[in-house]
Amino acid sequence: MNYSETIEYLFSALPMFHRIGPAAYKANLDNTYLMCELLDHPEKDLKCIHVAGTNGKGSVSHILASILQSAGFKTGLYTSPHLKDFRERIRINGAMVSEEWVSDFVSKHQHSFEEIKPSFFEMTTAMAFKYFHDQQTDIAVIETGLGGRLDSTNVLVPHVSVITNIGLDHMNLLGDTLEKIAIEKAGIIKSNIPIVIGEYSSTTKLIFTDKANMLNAPIYFASENFKIIAQNYNALEEYQTVTIIKDHEDFLKDLNCDLTGKYQLKNITTAIQTVSILNQLGIHISENNIRDGLKNVKKNTGLQGRWQIINRSPITICDTGHNEDGLREVLPLLQEIPHDSLHIVLGMVNDKEIEKILELFPKDATYYFCKANIPRGLDAAILAEKASLIGLKGIVFASVESALLAAQKNALNSDIIFVGGSTFTVAEII
């Protein structure tokens, strides 16, 4: 198979969560173990950092990979979903896995895949482990897909585990309370392996602490050990400048980060805590490495879609925030930017609590309702109907592209256009 045929096979033959939703989710690790056994267990000697969380895990993973890359380590990065190209999921020092390698891997193991019947994510996870192993990475940053306890990536034994935060997302799979979801995420905590916690509540802190104590895992709450201050924040600047404070004193002053959404502050703190532990473990990362890595996250890793300005006349911003907690962070930033009118290109998926999420959107904006071209996409007419019930008014469009074109035609240079609601809506306009 050539690369195009390989991707078509992967997308059509294997159950894929980001296309079809919960039907693709496997609530056990059996297939992953079988896949790893087939590949001679590449995960067993993979040096890695394991990152879970409802929101922020992608950004933290990319920040860590950028810092490690700046420190001279050959750094693997496994994330999901991809925006445009499947190979975005598997990178080394920012470079995507080659088309040839993907095609060869699938061709070689296709018969075994069809016997094991893995999901798309199970297969991709095994592929990443094998690629990082064969390419002899110094360290890899591995982002979970869903949850943690039963996530395909959870066959690893990392140097450090990270849980960025807990929010209400994928409740049909992970549980309908923060406590239940926290228990699932806490499943990545391993015996004697340090665990970093980004955000927490009193309830989730107790869950994490109890699990860590049970497994004798040193636990670090990033927001208790490090404070972060944004300096003269401007949502439209190329960089945001921050200072990290430790023990009431400046620890890292005047850091520039090219991830400019204000919500990135907590992700930066989580990454700094993780880097501090890596240094304790003998993985040397200097202050200059941290500075360079933070300043060049997008350049080093290829990250897209996080508070990304895609046009400046009029200001057009996209963000992949797609659940209640994520959008609570993103939408207020729009109000910080001087503008006359706000135009929102909105597409969502059909397995979210739509009404709760729509309540977060401003009622004084003009909406351009659309559906991303995936089976999970929520029909734009249904989205518009639900939105109208809470006072959000707009027009239905046949595609994301046509919705954006209409917004661009209607917007003045003094207006703002925002594109979001789901990762897949953003993917179609980047």
| 86/186 same-domain check | yes
Q: What does the pLDDT read at residue 311?
A: 96
Q: What's the pLDDT tens digit per position in 209-233?
A: 999 999 999 999 999 999 999 998 9
Tell me: pLDDT of 257 over 70: yes
Tell me: pLDDT of 191 over 70: yes
Tell me: pLDDT of 21 over 80: no
| 277/170 same-domain check | yes
Q: Which CATH number goes with the domain that contains 58?
A: 3.40.1190.10
Confidence bin at 274 (pLDDT 50/70/90): very high
| 319/361 same-domain check | yes
| 395/338 same-domain check | yes
Which of 240, 266, 301 is the C-terminal boundary of a domain? 301
Q: What is the DSSP letter of 237?
A: S
CB 195 within 8 A of CB 189: yes
Q: Which CATH number goes with the domain that contains 405?
A: 3.90.190.20
Proportion of the chain above pLDDT 70, given as a percent: 95
Q: What does the pLDDT read at residue 180?
A: 87
Q: What does the pLDDT read at residue 177?
A: 83
| 348/259 same-domain check | no
- How many other CB atoms are found less than 10 A from the CB of residue 13? 15
| 34/183 same-domain check | yes
Q: What does the pLDDT read at residue 289?
A: 98
Q: Please, what is the end-to-end C-alpha distance for the chain in angstroms?
A: 28
Which of 259, 281, 301 is the C-terminal boundary of a domain? 301
Q: What's the pLDDT tens digit per position in 345-401?
A: 999 998 767 998 999 999 999 999 999 998 889 999 999 999 999 999 999 999 999
Alpha-carbon distance 24 to 73, whole Å?
35
Q: What's the pLDDT tens digit per position in 94-125?
A: 999 999 999 999 999 999 988 998 988 999 99
Averaged pLDDT, 290-308: 97
| 90/176 same-domain check | yes
| 78/7 same-domain check | yes
For 255, the domain range is: 3-301
| 292/326 same-domain check | no
Q: What does the pLDDT read at residue 167?
A: 72
What total number of domains does the chain contain?
Answer: 2
What's the pTM? 0.94
Proportion of the chain above pLDDT 90, given as a percent: 82
Confidence bin at 269 (pLDDT 50/70/90): very high
| 326/252 same-domain check | no
Which of 285, 301, 317 is the C-terminal boundary of a domain? 301
Q: What does the pLDDT read at residue 27?
A: 67
Q: What does the pLDDT read at residue 169?
A: 55
Q: Taken in order 169, 171, 177, 182, is the CA torsion positive or negative?
A: negative
Copy the structure tokens of residue 93. Answer: 């020092």
Alpha-carbon distance 412 to 355, whole Å?
30
Tell me: pLDDT of 19 over 60: no
Tell me: pLDDT of 70 over 50: yes
Q: What's the pLDDT tens digit per position in 122-155?
A: 999 999 999 999 999 999 999 999 778 899 999 9
Residue 107 Cα distances to 11, 100, 102, 201, angstroms: 15, 10, 9, 47
Instruction: Report phi then psi at 134, rounded to 5.
Output: -65, -35
Confidence bin at 170 (pLDDT 50/70/90): very low
Which is more confidently placed, 23 or 158? Answer: 158
HSE (side-chain half, CA atoms, 13 Å) at 108: 11
Candidates 326, 330, 334, 373; CA nearest to 352 is 326
- In this structure, are strands 48-52 and 195-197 parallel, antiparallel, or unpaired? unpaired
Q: What does the pLDDT read at residue 18?
A: 44
Copy the structure tokens of residue 275. Answer: 């880097």
Which is more confidently placed, 167 or 321? Answer: 321
| 63/176 same-domain check | yes
Averaged pLDDT, 289-307: 97
Q: Please, what's the largest Cα pairwise distance for the chain?
A: 60
Mean pLDDT of the chain: 92
| 284/343 same-domain check | no
Q: What does the pLDDT read at residue 168?
A: 59
- In this structure, are strands 240-246 and 227-231 parallel, antiparallel, or unpaired? antiparallel
Q: Is 41 left (phi over 0), alpha (psi -120 to 50) or beta?
A: left
